[in-house]
Structure 1
Amino acid sequence: MKKIKTVMIIALLSISGLGFAQQLNDNIKKAFKADDATALLAEIKNQKVTINDCFNIEDISYSLLSLSIKMNKPNIFNQLIEQKADVNKICGEKSPLMYTAKYGLLDFAKALVKAGADISAKSATGKTAYDYAVKYEKTALQPLLKPVK
Structure 2
Amino acid sequence: MATQHHHAHEEHAGEALIEAAREALVASGEQWTSMREAVFGELAGQERPASAYDIADNLSKARGKRVAPNSVYRILDLFVTNNLALRVESANAYLANTHPGCQHDCIFLVCDECGEASHVDDEDVSRAVRELASARDFQAKRPVLEIRGLCRLCA
TM-score (norm 2): 0.29
Query: Greater RCO between the two (CA within 8 Å, min separation 6)?
Result: 2
Structure in which a larger fraction of residues adopt strand = 2
